Structure formats: C-alpha cells, structure tokens
Amino acid sequence: MAEAQRSVKDITVTLPDGAKRTYAAGTTGMEIAESISKSLAKAVVAVKIDGAMSDLSLPINKDVSISLVKREDAEGLELIRHDCAHVLAEAVQKLYPGTQVTIGPNIENGFFYDFFRNEPFSTEDFAAIEAEMKKIVERGAPFTREVWDRNEAIKFFKNKGENFKAELIQDLPETEEIKIYRQGEWTDLCRGPHMPTTKHVGTAFKLMKVAGAYWRGDSNKAVLTRIYGTAWRNDKELQDYLTQIEEAEKRDHRKLGRELELFHMQDEAQGSVFWHPKGWTIWVALEAYMRRRLKDGGYLEVKTPQLMDSRFWEASGHWGKYRENMFVVPDVVPNTEEGGKVFKEEPKHFMALKPMNCPAHVQIFKQGIKSYRDLPMRLAEFGCCHRNEAHGALHGLMRVRQFTQDDAHIFCREDQIMEECVKFCELTKAIYKDLGFDDYVIKLETRPENRIGSDALWDKAEKGLEDALKKLGMKYDISPGDGAFYGPKLAFIIRDAIGREWGCGTLQLDFNLPERLDALYTAEDGSRQRPVMLHRAILGSIERWIGIMIENYAGKLPLWLAPVQCVVATITSEADSYAEEVVRELRAKGIRAELDIRNEKINYKVREHSLQKVPYLFVVGKREAEERNVAIRQLGSDAQKVVNMEVAVDDLKQAAQPPY
RNA sequence: GCCGUUGUAGCUCAGGGGUAGAGCAACGCAUUCGUAAUGCGUGGGUCGAAGGUUCAAUUCCUUUCAACGGCACCA
C-alpha cells in the first residue's frame, strides 16, 4: 500500500555522486537545491535533468538523475551568455522602439542578437545600450517560463509587430512546446533554459561589434543587424579576454606580413599576393619540405596547364556549377586600334584559368593504358589555381583569388581506399606536427543535398573515410551535409590567432569524376575498370598555411623556415672584414645569413633585428675578431654566449636542419 | 554579393570650407659605440578615385573603388 502510494506521489532523484533522494512529485530543481543546502540554493542557476539543461523552476514529475548547475560551471557560463543576449534584446527594444527581435544564441566567448530595424545600429549606440542592460540586470526580474498555445503565440507576436518571431513559431515542429520566457515586462520566445533572474547575468559583459547577417542565414532573405557581445562570470575573466584579443591582434598575419616585409597586396591585384624576398623564402623552404615528404610518400609530382578550353571544364562539370567563380578568358586576338573596343568581334571561344587541378590530373592518368599494377597512382602538384571569390570573402592570405594548393589525386582500386586514407591521415598528422600544429579539428563532412552519385556509392564513400579515422583512433566530428558535390570529405581545421577556423588539409573520396571523365584501368582479369579518385591536400592553400603559421608563431618562425636565420652585426668598423668572413662561412654552410656593418650602435642593431624576429644574432666586436669568436644572442633571450666561430657555424647548421 | 565602418607621407595617426601636420622610417652630416631606439639636419603628400555644391573642397553632397568587421559563399 505504502509502496503504491510512493509510486504516485514520490520521485527518486539521483545526484551526480550516485546518492538517491526521494521527493514529492512536482518538486522543482530549486527546491531540491534548497533541501541540500542554503549555499547551494544560492549558487545554483539551472538544473541538468537526465543530461538536458532545464529551468530550476520546472516541476519534476518522474524518477530522474540530476546535476545542479552553478554559475561557475561551464554550462553556467553558457547560461550567462544566453541570458545576456535576452537582456540585450530587452534593452534594445526599450531604447529603440519598433525594432524587431529575432534570435540571440550564446556563442564561443559570448553571444549575439539579430535585430531588424530600418536604421542600422552603430558602435556609438553601445554605451547607451550597455547602460540600459545594466539597469535590467540590476532590477533582477525573474525569468519565468510559460508554455503557450501555438496559435495564441503567433497571434501575440504578430500583434506586437514581431513578424520574425511569428515566423519562427510557425515553423517549429508540431510536437514542440511553444515556450515563452518573461523577464519583468519583456517576453520572448525561447527554447530556454534561463537562470532564475536577470541579476544572475552579472555585469562582466561588453558589446563588441555590429555586423550584418541574413535572416535564417539565407542571402535571399532580409538583412538583420547583429550585435555581438562577450560575457563572463566576473570582471577579471572579461578583462583577461579583452587582453587576449588585443594580444592576438598583434599577431595578425597581415600586420606581421608588412612589418616583417614578407608580402603585400594591392588594389590592382586584389586577392592575389605579391611575395617579397623574405616571404618567398619561407614559401620555398616550406615547398621543399613538402616535396621531400611527398616523394617519400610515393607521390609523383606533375605540372598542368593554367589555362584550358571551356569545353574541358564543361566535361568536368565545373562549367555549369562553378562558372560564376571562374576567371574566363576569351580566346580571341584583341583589337589593337587605339581607343577601340578590346575585342572587335564577340568572342565565341573561351578559355578559363583552372580553379582546381583534378580534371587535369585525370588527363595525365588517362594517357596511355593504365594497369591495376600502376595503382595506386598518386599525382601531386603545387597547383596554382584561380577562383573569383566574392569581395567580402577575401581575407589577407587566408582567402585569396590566386592560391596554390599542395594538391594530389590518388587513383586507386576500391579495396585500396582504406589503406590510402590511413596513409594520408598519418602523413598529415606527421607534417602538422613538424610544422608545429598539434591542435586541429577533424571533421567528416557528409553528403550535401545537391550531389551527384547514388546513395549506395555515398554510403560506401562515407564509410571508407570513417573506417580509416576509426582505425587510426583519430578524434573527429561529423558535419552533415558539408561534403563536396561529388563525395564526402575529411577536413582538417586549424584556428588562427583570434580563433577563426580555416580548413587546411582535406581528403575527398570521389567515385564520380573518373566516371565523368572516363578514366579506366585494366584489371587482373583483363576487364576495364574505373579507378576511385581521392582528392587530397595537406596544407590546403600554401598562402593560407603561411598566414596561419605566421600567426601561430607570432612571426617567430622556426629556424629552418626563418627568412633570415642569422645576422652578423658589428660593434665597430674594426670588425667589418671579420664579420664579412663569418657571413661567408655561414652562407657556405647553407645558412641564410645577413651582414650588418652599418655605423650604428649595437643596441640599435639588436633592437632592430629582434623586432624583425631574426632567430640568431652573431655580434662581433674587436675582441671577437681578434679571438675568432662570435657572441651569440638568440631571439627571445638577452643571454649571450661567446663561442668559437667555426663551432658556432656548425652548431647553427645543425639547428637549422628542416624536420624532414 | 549583402550590412556596417574606414580611407590624410613608406608605417602609426592628428587636423579641418581659404590648397596640410607629428612620431617612426628614408636620405645627408657628425658620432666607432659591447647587447632592445646617438645627435643634428634634409627631402617627401593633386588628403583612395570621379562628379557636384561653392568665389574657394582634402574638408560638405553624390557615385565609385579598396580595405576592415561580420553574413552568405568556399569545387
């Protein structure tokens, strides 16, 4: 009898430490916290019920396991940010009546909220908005949760002129509850959960920037104004974050590229890079390293045409799908008449700069007859490609119009896919390690909506990539729908100084292009078979990679990549001829050394070469010249070591060896 | 491409309806110096471009280009 009663009225709550407690059905998270301790009740901001975040005020009606989320927890910080977005929205609507609200999620380091308003916001409005937000926080209105009837809710928001919210509700699945949160007078449709009151948001927040964003991420829809903010648990965290951003901006590769005289860009060649001697030195060293890696990896290097007839691109399928981003060149002799039209007649034939290398590599594969014995055939190219990227997409070295891929295509049999994928991942891992990147994310990007090829083929391809990752025990996330139109891909993603993510390495499985371009090999039984094609790049774009490396190392590249590895600087002109001899010795050993015999103080020279991030400075004065020594000063240290010149040169040669 | 911001000397930036200014850099001279800026001097800009308003525009207006911050895109 007692047992039966319990099952109706009581629930068992399991805490994270495994302890079980019994409460009356309908008990809320807050009540549970209060029953444990007063201080816990004070600190708690939400409750995780069976793994799902919920409001503390939500009655619990069944047996569950819970954990109480405090403001200090990682989940608590997410709530601070999300609630802060709501506070922002309330403040904006108070200050700018008629502004429509849309959505405001928390993101890494903060939150944003998208508004619709005829007048744009400007950063000058921030002070007023922040002040209003602080008032709302100070007021500390409780967040209360209500579940509304769908049609009531739509009517409510339509009446308020909140068309975007009404549209959101309309599009929510029928099964979804329509949850409305109130904070004082202000209401918003929201999935929740929220902290108990606006006061819990605290004041460690700051509005950062305004930006345009499309409604529902669709470029055909309305443009909204997005306000980004950052929010933290306390002022120290906020300050630390702001300092961190400031520091990161100092490593911006565009800034360092100019300061270190690596490259520049200009209007007349937007999206293309002018590599200066020092920048190009990095490139050449990196490319040479990659060549050694590829050669040992069984790749064969090739070079294919830059400009090819449009019918070639028609056959590959790019003409139809990507033409708007291709640079198309009329195949006509231009008019030479002064002041005349560029072309006398309407061009009939077109060529196009290659936007990628794959079809060209298929042409090489197709020359002659290939046997199963030739497979896998790995064709590699440092392929210079052109893509007419949208203006807004261009970004320093990271996104350019002319770029060089460390591209390769592996033609193999189906039963070789797994092994090739494994080899590729291993090679990529090794190269990233050599180049100083241990921190990257792997994404498995699966079939997009617009695609070619049967589902059976896609199943096979996606499984192939996943199996290889599993075999290697590499961690990965799945990004559904992000694959290429011809096949799924692995993307190796690296972050730049300020946390932006850039795709670098990629491995794409393709059963389609060999079919489309009619690539065949002769199998053991004499039959003609289609090879499978693996598109792969490790650095991705060499431009981008160098940009990321500059930021990662804050310009202080490892010795083997440093454009100038050593400067020999004199203290007085008495050491000039000795300094010249030291430079000759260094250069004879393959060290990139420069001579500085300018009539300047050694302080000045040290400062200048340090700012130029030269790894080694050999200082020579009268003493060193007489004793045939050099005073070595390494970048980042003010210690000096006086060493015999020949020993120093040999040591530096050793230290400057590339990792492979 | 879309929304917003910015554009003045090589760089960083100030100024403002009466045709521009600083620091650093460059150049010249002096200084020969021991580990993150020696001193003095000189030169340098059709104020992103085009058009308009005005007696007068770098400044105000329009258009345009580029860069920057996002969004969309990224074979």
Q: What is the pLDDT of residues A264-305, one digit of tens each?
A: 999 889 999 999 999 999 999 999 999 999 999 999 999 999
The pLDDT of residue A347 is 87
Residue A56 has pLDDT above 60, yes or no: yes
Q: What is the distance of C-alpha A621 from the center of its chain?
A: 48
Mean pLDDT of A420-433: 96
For residue A5, is pLDDT > 90? no
A296: its two tokens: 């040992």
Residue A357 near residue A383, CB atoms below 8 Å: yes
Q: Using CA of residue A320, residue A324, residue A328, residue A334, what is the dihedral sign?
A: positive
The pLDDT, as a whole number, for residue A650 is: 98
Nearest Cα residue to A408 out of A433, A377, A430: A377
Nearest nt by C1' to A326 Cα = B75
Note if A349 is an active site residue: no
Closest by CA to A450, choosing from A486, A490, A487, A485, is A485
Report the DSSP beta bridge partners of residue A511: none
Known catalytic residue: A402?
Answer: no
Q: What is the pLDDT at residue A498?
A: 78
CA distance A115 to A137: 20
In this prediction, residue A334 has a pLDDT band, given cuts at 50, 70 and 90, of: confident
pLDDT of residue A75: 95
Say yes or no: Cβ of A394 under 7 A from any atom of strand B. yes
Mean local confidence (pLDDT), A530-547: 97
pLDDT for A294: 98
> Which nucleotide is closest, CA of A633 to its C1'?
B35
pLDDT confidence band for A460 (50 / 70 / 90): confident
pLDDT tens profile A149-203: 999 999 999 999 999 999 999 999 998 999 999 999 999 999 989 999 999 999 9
From residues 583-612 of A, list those within 7 angstroms of strand B by Cβ: 599-604, 606-607, 610-611
Least confident of A71-75, A351-355, A490-494, A499-503: A499-503
Whole-angstrom Cα distance, residue A27 to residue A535?
Answer: 57
* Closest residue (CA to C1') to nucleotide B5 in the complex: A122
Say if residue A428's pLDDT is above 70.
Answer: yes
Residue A604 CA, nucleotide B31 C1', distance (Å) = 14
A407 has catalytic annotation: yes
Output the average pLDDT for chain A.
94
Q: How far is the CA of A566 from the C1' of B19 (A)?
A: 49
Is residue A350 predicted with pLDDT exceeding 60? yes
What pLDDT is attached to residue A163?
Answer: 95
Question: Confidence class of residue A111 from pLDDT cuts 50, 70 and 90?
Answer: very high
- For residues A448-455, give the mean pLDDT: 85
Residue nearest the C1' of B25 (CA based)? A259
Q: Is the pLDDT of residue A6 over 70?
A: no
For residues A401-428, give the mean pLDDT: 96
**Protein chain A, residues 61-100, with a C-beta closer than 7 Å to any atom of nucleic acid strand B:** none
CA closest to C1' of B37 belongs to A604
Mean pLDDT, residues A647-659: 98
Q: Who has greater pLDDT, A83 or A347?
A: A83
Clarify whether A395 is annotated catalytic: no
- Annotated active-site residue in A165, A409, A443, A451: A409
Let me know: does A514 contact A529? Beta carbons within 8 Å: no
Question: What average pLDDT does the segment A310-324 reach?
Answer: 91
Strand B atom within 7 Å of A470 CB: no
Q: What is the mean pLDDT of residues A305-313?
A: 95
pLDDT at A298 (0 to 100)? 97
Burial of A268 (C-beta count, 10 Å sphere; 0-12/13-18/19+):
exposed
Query: For the segment A28-44, what is each residue's pLDDT rounded down to a tens digit?
Result: 999 999 999 999 999 99
For the cut 70, the answer to whether the pLDDT of residue A3 exceeds it is no
Task: Determine the distance between A103 (CA) and B53 (C1') in angstroms.
Answer: 45
Confidence of residue A453 (pLDDT cuts 50, 70, 90): confident
Q: What is the ipTM of this complex?
A: 0.95
- What are the E-state strand segments in A414-531? 441-445, 477-479, 489-495, 501-510, 521-522, 528-529
Q: Which of A489, A536, A613, A633 is catalytic?
A: A489
Q: In whole angstroms, give the CA distance from residue A92 to residue A72.
A: 28
Beta-strand relationship, A616-620 and A593-596: unpaired
Based on the residue annotation, tell me whether A609 is a catalytic residue of this protein. no
Separation of alpha carbons A460 and A516, rounded Å: 19
- How many percent of chain A have pLDDT more than 90? 87
Of the candidates A536, A614, A624, which has an alpha carbon nearest to the alpha carbon of residue A575? A624
A511: CB partners within 8 A, 6+ apart: A453, A457, A460, A461, A486, A487, A530, A532, A533
Q: Is the CB of A508 under 7 A from strand B?
A: yes
pLDDT of A629 strictly over 60? yes
Q: Which residues pair with A183 in a beta bridge?
A: A143, A186
Is the per-residue pLDDT at A98 higher than 50? Answer: yes
Q: Among A645, A659, A640, A660, which residue's Cα sits nearest to residue A586?
A: A645
At A340 the pLDDT is 77
The verdict on whether A535 is a catalytic residue reads yes
